[in-house]
Every structure is written in C-alpha cells, then in structure tokens.
Structure 1
Amino acid sequence: MKLTAPYTVIYQDDDIVVLNKRSGLLIAQDRYNPDAPRLDVEAEKEFGKLYAVHRIDKDTSGIVVYARKAEAHKNISMQFEKHEVKKIYHCLINGRPLWKELHVDLPLQPDGDARHRTVVNKKFGKKSITDFKVIGECGPYTWIEARPLTGRTHQIRVHLAENKFCIVCDPLYSGNQKPIRLSEIKKRYNGDTQEERPLLSRLALHAYKITFIHPSTGKEVTFAAPYQKDMDSTRKQLAKIYGADPLKEEAADSTGLQED
C-alpha cells in the first residue's frame, strides 16, 4: 500500500519552515529506533539544513516548525522554553465526558516504565498543564481540543488517560485500539464489510494550530494544519451521522476572539 506524502508545506521563508506531517514519522532521531523514518531527513532534501525547535509524537500528525538559521533556532527555542508558544491540538476520544472543559495539572515523568511511557509522578515529575475542551459529541466518540501549556512527552495522552479517557487507536495508553469503521457507525451501510478499510486506524491526535513570535519580524504569527486525509474523512462521516463538526465549532469560537 502506498503511503501518503511524508509532509506538506504550510509556510516557508528565510527563517522558518512550517510543515504538516503525517502520522508515523519521527521529528528527529530516536535513541530507541535510530533507523525509523524521520521528518527532518525527508524535509532537508527540499530545504537544506533544518533545526528542530520542538517535537510532536511520532504517531501524532500535524504542525511541525523548523528553523533554517541558528539565530532563528535560538529565538524560537527560547519561546518554547518560556512557554510563550500557544499550541492547539485536536483529538478524537472514545466515550463522552461529563465535563465541557477540564484543567489538568499533573506532574509527568517521561520514560517512566518498561514500555517507555510517560507516567504521573508527583515526586519526580515535571510540572505539566493541559486545558481540554469538548468541541464535538459524535455518538460513542468525542472531539476534544487540547491546549498544552507545557511540552512534556505524551502529555495530552497521559492527562486524558489519567481522567479515564483515551484517544482513538492509542497504542500506548489505551486498552481499546479498535479502528473506526463506517459499517459500525452508519445504520444503513451497503458496502462489503469483508473488504472494508477503516476510516481511521492510527492515533487520532493532530497538532492543529501554533502561535509564536516570528524571529525576524517580531510579529505574532499563527499557522493551522489541515487534518490528514484519514482524520478528515472520519470527521466528515461523523459530522454527517451525528451532526457535530470540530472544525465548525473551532471556526465559530474564533469569530468571537478579540485581540488585547
């Protein structure tokens, strides 16, 4: 089966490159699997030397920012270090929370068990904060917006898991890795279930939007990454069946935003 392109370009200039990566690619070399496919290796074929300023999980799709110069790398990295960068993720979880918004403040320790998972550790963990909001209820699933105020490994996944919710098809933090199939959510499905391909069979977590100060202009910039094809097909089908669309909810909220 042919894989989709490793990335699409959202924006580029002399200082930065903003990419929308597919799920399954590392951002940089991994000590556990040095030969795994990497986004930086693929992107450097097009852009030359790139400097990673942040990371998202291998299984997560969406926005990745690289610097093209050492000065830009230092500038943006410092913004991340000071928690000045605003990040928005969208994910699809199993189940329906009783809350509409949830603030999670639980210290996390990466690589905390034999499976290299991040764990809550109130003694040795680092401060980790995520704000969650429901942006679409779709029968047995719920679309969630996550705004991590810190950048710990697997932070969103662990903070949800600690509150008894798991992201669809999460291979590390969920006991339910069942893919989403149209035949199981559509009442009158006419296709062949034996030949049916899942709508979504990978971690349903997408780095959707990022805001930071451009290293050269000094102006605030915001970039958004369209959902990957599998996640967008799932969104469209769930919207048809259940009438809830996370992108429409997000767009409706943004129209009411005002700058200070």
Structure 2
Amino acid sequence: MRINDLIIKETPDYVIVNKPAGVLTIPDRHDNQLSSVQGLLKKHFGNIFTVHRLDKDTSGVILFAKNEVAHKYYSQAFEGRNVQKFYLGLVNGQLVPATGTIQEAIAEHPITKGKMVTAKKGKASHTDYEVLDAFGLYSLVKFQIHTGRTHQIRVHMKHVGHPIAVDEMYGTATPVLLSAIKKGYKLGKHDVEERPLLSRLALHSFQLHFTDQQGEAQVAEAPLAKDIQAVVTQLRKNSSGYIPKLVL
C-alpha cells in the first residue's frame, strides 16, 4: 500500500486520504504504525495529526492535519458540526420511506465492549438518509450524519431494521454473493466454491464539505469503493423491476 496512491488532496495544512477498507485510522494497542493510515502518513510527512476517524472496515474520505494550528481548527470544525459528512452504504432490504431522519440517542452497550446501542440516556445522534437505488434484496443509501457517534450509521440502521450489509456486529456477517443476485448463476469450470462479491462492511465515506482556514469552501470526494460498486453494478443488471435513479 503506497500512501501516494491514497492521497486525494494535500495542502500545507491538511491531507485528505481515500482510506482502504480493512486499514485502521490510527495504530492499535500493538502499535503497528504501518498498519494504519496515520502511521503511513507519519512515515511520509513526519508530523501528522488525527482530526476524525473511520471504522476499520469503512472505506473513503478522511482528513488529517499537518500542523498544530490546523489540527485545532479542523478539530473544532468537526466538533462544532461545521463539516458536512456524507456516506454511501448498502443496507439489507428496502427502506420505507425512501427518505428520512433518525434521531435516536446512542450509548455504549452495557455488556459487550466496543458495541453501541440506541438508549434514551445516550448521546444525542442525528442521521439523515436517502435511498438512491432500491433493489429489493438490498438498497443503496446516501447518509448524512450531523453527529459523530461511534458506529452511528450502523447503529441507526440496525434500529430501523435495515442493517448495513455484511455488518457482523449489528447485522449479519454473511457476504454478498453473485448467486444471491443473479438468476441461473453457475460456478466457473475451475471454481470449487463461489468467491464473494463483498465480504466486508458495505459502508463508504463519500464526501466531506468544509470551509478551510482561508475561508474557501471545499468538497473532498472518494468514488464508491470498487468492491461495493461491483455489487451495485450486479444489482442494477440483475434486479427485476429496478428503475435507475442515480448512476455513480
């Protein structure tokens, strides 16, 4: 993994990266620097400051500061909810209504460490969603999160009964298979078993909208990750009754 291949935009104050799925934002407790985006950036740039995070299996746009002044500015922008954060995800089933707002407080799970739940005494959490494509088996959804709670989209989707696809913690770990999408699917002559189209959390950080330190409006975007896009392409080809709404 070469850091230059991941950089979307770099300025003297910040660097924006398209984080691959399966890579940590910051090093874990084993302190393996080069297994995280932050570690790779530190090796490349020297000083680097974490402003916000993405879950390990979530791909897409993430911003890091390159100096202390920028770190303070962008941290305050995120904390003050002055950054608009948009995600794309595949959810199980068909969301009704096709647009909506979820405002359910989120707290730590009382028993399972690292897991979150909706709870009246939790922290206020706000997610807007819009279904871009409905396929029956799955839906492609655009999310805007107005708060930054741990696992927010995942918890809110579980709450409404449509968890993110391949979410072992809040839904099911079952991978997305072409045989579940395409009628008459047959294994290739040399294949012993079917290879999944997608075997990780189907969630992608799509866009960040923010104002930089010079007062200029900025939009950072990472196209839908190839593995999720592969599933969407097959769903568009093979879902009966599908009506195109948006081509990414």
Indicate whether the TM-score tops 0.5: yes
In structure 2, the residue matched to 1:258 is none
CA distance in 1: counterparts of 2:198 and 2:43, whole angstroms: 29
167, 183, 187: which is aligned to 1:191? 187
1:246 positional shift: 7.1
**CA distance in 2: counterparts of 1:30 and 1:156, whole angstroms:** 23
- 1:177 equivalent in alignment to 2:173: yes
Deviations 1:115-143 (A, max 9, x none): 420122212x1111101111111231111
Q: Distance between the aligned counterparts of 2:78 and 2:194, measured in 1?
A: 43
Tell me how far 1:171 sits from its aligned partner. Answer: 1.4
For residue 235 of structure 1, what is the aligned residue in structure 2?
232
Cα distance in structure 2, aligned partners of 1:246 and 1:28 = 37
* Greater Cα shift, 188-197 or 150-159: 188-197
| Equivalent in the alignment of 1:154 | 151
2:52 to 48, 51, 54: 54
Q: 1: distance between equivalents of 2:209 and 2:147?
A: 14
Moved more, 190-199 or 41-50: 190-199
Partner amino acid, structure 2, of 1:12: E
1:82 to 80, 83, 93: 80
* Cα shift readout 1:16-55 (whole Å, capped 9, x = no counterpart): 1100111122212345x65583111122222322111111
| Partner in structure 1 of residue 39 of structure 2 | 41
User: In the aligned structure 2, how far is the partner of 1:5 from the partner of 1:238?
Assistant: 31
Identify the residue that residue 115 of structure 2 maps to in structure 1.
117
1:84–1:159 Cα change, 3 Å:
same
- Structure 1 residues 111 and 53: alpha-carbon distance in aligned structure 2, compared to 1, 3 A threshold: farther
TM-score by length of 2: 0.90
Q: State the percentage of identical aligned residues.
A: 36
Task: Assess if the C-alpha contact under 8 Å between 1:87 and 1:147 holds in 2.
Answer: yes
> Cα distance 1:211–1:159, how it changes in 2: closer, same or farther (>3 A)?
same
- State TM-score, norm by structure 1: 0.86
Structure 1 residues 48 and 246 mapped into 2: Cα distance closer, same or farther (>3 Å)? farther
Q: 1:208 to 1:127 in 2, by over 3 A?
A: same
Unaligned runs of 5+ in 2: none
Count of aligned residue pairs for this structure pair: 242
Does the CA-based 8 Å contact 1:143-1:246 persist in structure 2?
no
CA RMSD, Structure 1 to Structure 2 (Å): 2.1
Cα separation, partners in 2 of 1:25 and 1:181, compared to 1, 3 Å: same
Residue 131 of structure 1 aligns to a residue whose secondary structure is: strand
Matched-pair contact (CA < 8 Å) for 2:100–2:129: yes
Q: CA deviation at 1:59?
A: 1.4
Q: CA deviation at 1:247?
A: 5.2
Unaligned stretches of 5+ in structure 1?
A: 252-260
Q: 1:22 aligns with which of 20, 23, 40?
A: 20
> Per-residue deviation at 1:111?
5.5
